[in-house]
Amino acid sequence: MNMLRRHWPWILAFVILLAIPFLFYDWSKGRHSGFVLTLMSEIGVMAIFALSYNMLMGQAGLLSFGHAVLLGMGAYCAAHVVLLVKAGTIWLPTELVPLAGGLGGLFFGFVFGWLVTKQRATAFAMITMGLGELVSAAALMFMGFFGGEGGIPVDRVMNTSLVGVSYSSPWQVYCLVLVWAFVAAVLMKLQTQTPLGSMANATRDNFERAQFVGYDPRMVRLYQFALSGFFAGIGGGLYVMIYEIVTFDTVSAAKSANALLAVYIGGAGGFFGPILGTIVVVLLQSGVSLLSNAWLLYVGILFIVMVMYAPGGLIGLLFMHMPIWRAGRMRELLLPYARAFPPALIVLLGFVFLVELTSFTTIGAAQGKKFSIGGNVIDTTAPMPWVIALAMLVLGALWLRREARGFRERWDDVMDGIKRQGAMS
Amino acid sequence: MSGDITHVPAIELRDVCKRFGRTEIIRGVNLSIPRGERHAIIGPNGAGKTTLFNLISGRFPISSGSITVDGRSTADLAPQEINRLGLSRSFQITSIFPRMTVFENIRCGLLWSQGYRYSFWHLLGRQKALNEAADQLLERLKLSDRRNLQAGLLSYAEQRALEIGITIAGGAEIILLDEPTAGMSHSETDSAVALIRRVSEGKTLIMVEHDMSVVFGLADRITVLVYGEVIASDQPAAIRGNAAVQEAYLGTVAA
Ligand SMILES: Nc1ncnc2c1ncn2[C@@H]1O[C@H](COP(=O)(O)OP(=O)(O)OP(=O)(O)O)[C@@H](O)[C@H]1O
Ligand SMILES: [Mg+2]
């Protein structure tokens, strides 16, 4: 009972995530949407990956450019374990395949961590980048372990389930991902409250001072890195279960960049920031990429905008509202928000329109695609669409600027009021 | 190696020199500080007092000579290893963990000495003794009402108090304080001195201090450092009467 009272948000989140696929359930055919399940499984894996990245970036202040190495090595280890189980060499319950990935990640976390954690700051970033390139190159060279360009394909149906599940359907795999994602997230959350987690913060803030309270910052970084590898490896193990193949893109710089994007967009400051960021990035990646050639550009723009205007990420923006929410004055912001919404939408639409026009005149034309909105084909060579897009962008921006000024005034008023109230009580 | 263990000085410096490039900042310092002594180091600005602390605590390597802590040479030890011998220092330029809370700052000072090492299986929230010790120290530092504030948001004087707190949290047997009361008001200084007196009871204390009332009120012995050399090291009364010291240092303060 007590547990329910204290941990209800986690339980609620779990139930909601379990229920979401049923919104897309095809009742006439009695089938889940494979697309939605794979998308949500991907979010689960990438959320673990981003959280493990934040163990370095948020907690220890270490900017890694090669974090995918840990995910990928975990995935390769898990894939080999699956092969061994299938061959009858060893026995392992299917449910524990992600753990095998985790142990692989932990091992390589120690090995690679030994190399990279001697340094911090820029040197650390550079060495992790070099390491990422090195492992990517190795993945194409050592056929035995990495399987070259083809990667290591596996069959996830192992018939060793502890609960009698075959894992032949995406729904079963999604459930496995969800359980592991929660286990990993809870463990990572708890890790922030341990001596190591706390000293990771300390070395981030002031590594020299940490030495004078008895800690070797290098060892703090190493253990933190290895643990981060453990969790990234769990993600890798789940990746194997979802896609039934591991290729060298799991260790690639692009995968590493994904974690960085998710953490920056979501925010490194709060524990849940990376999860928010992951949801946004994966939706852009998997959802928008179906609609637009320019999805990567949108991710990039979002990244730049966040770094420039909201360095605390989405979670930081949410946290900014906390004092206002607690003072019960959110209502006063409703109108300014409502007024800023139309111009913001116009700017956004104008921008998207412009990007799509451009992308259709270049890549789209080469692919022989036509730009159409609601069934109307738009002639990208005519001046009119361009003028409309530009006008939306410019006029919307001017309007937005005016509303933003009003919004800021309102915001400052409310904040001042709260501060004065706080000072009086 | 003669005599029983209690006669080994807490800290001993022999012919310690430190050069930065070609400038010699510490020029052959000999100093022996017995256990349980409260020792003050005074001297004009730029004399090398902070540098001396940096050498003793292992922040910088010495250029020549030797330093021993409890009879053990520290030549090949990293700062954290010297700290684990039971030597803790504070910084003249406040050095705290700015993005952590005040409470967490103090707790960081306690973790190693309480044997937690790099543990990732203890939940800090459940360590009653640890948290109580941290809260007690906060109480004594008069920072209890700032407990959950980010340390970087504290006022200057509060950060100075926290600086002392982090240093003494671990209960080190040898405590080095670098101008602990600098920038504090009279009343803050008084309570800081009372605190320092209390926590250094039965321990070895070495402090650099410019406030002469603090120095003469607290120290059993005083060392005067001028241009990297010890010109006198004696009891407070003798230092007060020392002509060379008068000229080099105290005179300028009195003037
Ligand atoms: N890392 C360093 N590199 C080069 N020179 C240094 C370094 N640290 C200190 N110095 C020089 O050594 C001299 C002594 O500095 P130190 O900080 O030890 O003096 P101090 O006695 O603590 O003075 P104050 O009373 O102002 O704190 C100064 O001239 C300083 O410029
Ligand atoms: Mg100094």
pLDDT (0 to 100) of residue B150? 96
Q: Rounded to 5 degrees, what angle do the CA atoms A362, A365, A369 make?
A: 130
For chain B, percent of residues with pLDDT exceeding 90:
88
Question: What ligand 1 atom has the least distance to the C-alpha of B54?
Answer: 18
Quickly state the pLDDT bin for B251 (edges 50, 70, 90): low
Tell me the residue ranges of DSSP E strands in A33-130: none
Quickly state the pLDDT bin for B226 (edges 50, 70, 90): very high
pTM score of the predicted model:
0.93
B143 lines ligand 1 (CB under 6 A): no
pLDDT (0 to 100) of residue A366? 73
How close is the Cα of B191 to the center of ligand 1, in Å? Answer: 28
B78 at interface of A, judged by CB pairs closer than 8 A: yes
CA–CA dist A391, A387 (Å, integer): 6
pLDDT (0 to 100) of residue A424? 64
Candidates B20, B22, B211, B224: which one to mutate for ligand 1, based on the most atoms within 8 Å of Cβ?
Answer: B20
B50 lines ligand 1 (CB under 6 A): yes
Q: Which residue has the higher pLDDT, B27 or B6?
A: B27
Contact B10, B35 (CB under 8 A): yes
Do the chains contact at B119 and A196, CB–CB below 8 Å?
yes
* CA neighbor of B18 nearest in space, from B60, B56, B66, B62: B62
pLDDT (0 to 100) of residue B3? 46
- Token couple for A137: 């190159």
Task: Report pLDDT digits (tens) over A259-314.
Answer: 999 999 999 988 999 999 999 999 998 888 888 888 888 989 999 999 999 999 99
**Is A155's pLDDT higher than 80?**
yes
How far CA A150 is from CA of A115, A143, A391, in Å, comes to: 29, 9, 48
The whole-number average pLDDT for the span B232-250 is: 86
The residue with tokens 């004087």 is B157
* Mean pLDDT score of chain A: 93
List the end-to-end C-alpha distance of chain A, in Å, as a whole number: 35
CA–CA dist B45, B38 (Å, integer): 22
Residue of B nearest to A205 (CA): B97
The whole-number average pLDDT for the span B67-95 is: 96
Checking DSSP bridges between strand A376-378 and strand B87-89, what pairing results, if any? unpaired
Query: From the candidates B105, B117, B118, which should be mutated to test the interface with A, based on the most A CB atoms within 10 A?
Result: B118
**Is B250's pLDDT higher than 90?**
no
- The interface pTM score, or ipTM, of the predicted complex is 0.94
The H helix count followed by the E strand count for chain A is 19, 4
Quickly state the pLDDT bin for B254 (edges 50, 70, 90): very low
- Token couple for A65: 């450019």
